Amino acid sequence: MHRLALCLLMIAFIGISGCTQIDESVKKVQNETLNISSSGMTYPAYLAAPESVGKWPGIVLIHSSRGLEPGYKTLVDKFAGDGFVVIAPEWQTFNKTPDDETVSQLIKASVTYLKTRTDVDVSDLGLTGFCAGGRYTMLFLPQMDFKSGVAFYGFPYTGGFLNESKPADFIALLKVPMLVIHGTYDQSSKISEIYRYAEELNATRQVLRDEGLSGRAARLYDHRWPVIGKLCSQGCLLADGDIFQQDP
């Protein structure tokens, strides 16, 4: 299941609806904790990049409300090993429950940093996040200049810590691919809300599907619309009610 989710995530970041191959030559990574300046404050951020010389897609990864836990650093390293330059800013450094504008400015500052690097393809940037970070992905992907995004366990109908804007309010602005991965039995963000979000997205325009996905999955929405993923207890991934694949 993990392999399929990772494959779909990589495809979403590439921003295409056809087949995509991860660069098998990229394995060794270099990582560090650096500082990002945003709105007069300095935030630590974890960064990992391929050791190989090249121009790589960039990702801004937004952690959950529990902070930048070790698992996120492992994930950043894994992405770098697959050919991405990834930065994960610690958005709770000064406030555990910041307003949306604070996080927005930090994401923009992280993008600005990625654009200064000679190993980043600045035309190929993606946004991803988990839990509260999933909400930020849903909220800011329609409002910022990313090529694609992946929202894990997001909250499309909540206003965040301070009851501000809801991601669903920006549905009409979403012009790039978004993959949504969610847990069937998530108690904080009900799966029914995710399907409601999908229906509202789909109602704004025609949904197309593309057969294939490197032979690993059955369907993928076209480059404009989200794949709504549901991880179930049997280890399969569902999208729009259809089983994609169950790992042996």
Which pLDDT does position 77 carry in this prediction? Answer: 95
> How high is the pLDDT of residue 125?
96
91-139 pLDDT tens trace: 999 999 999 999 999 999 999 999 999 999 999 999 999 999 999 999 9
Mean pLDDT over 210-220 rounds to 31
Give the per-residue pLDDT at 9: 54
Host domain of residue 224: 2-246
Query: Looking at the whole model, is its pTM more than 0.75?
Result: yes
CATH number of the domain enclosing 165 = 3.40.50.1820
DSSP bridge partners of 59: 86, 126
Q: What is the pLDDT of residue 203?
A: 79
Query: Does the pLDDT value for residue 182 go beyond 80?
Result: yes
Residue 142 pLDDT more than 80? yes
Rg (CA), the chain: 17
The whole-number pLDDT of residue 226 equals: 41
Please give the share of the chain, as a percent, with pLDDT higher than 90: 59
The two beta strands, 219-221 and 209-211, are: antiparallel
Average pLDDT, the chain: 78
- Residue 147 has a pLDDT of 93
Count of CB atoms within 10 A of residue 111's CB?
19
Q: Residue type for 31, please?
A: N
Could you tell me the CA-to-CA distances from 67 to 31, 88, 133, 233, 236 in Å, in that order?
18, 11, 10, 26, 28
**Mind listing the pLDDT tens digit for each residue in 54-68?**
999 999 999 999 999
Considering its fold, how many domains does the chain have in total? Answer: 1
Q: Which pLDDT score is estimated for 214?
A: 32
pLDDT single digits (tens) 8-57? 455 455 443 233 344 555 579 999 999 999 999 999 999 999 999 999 99
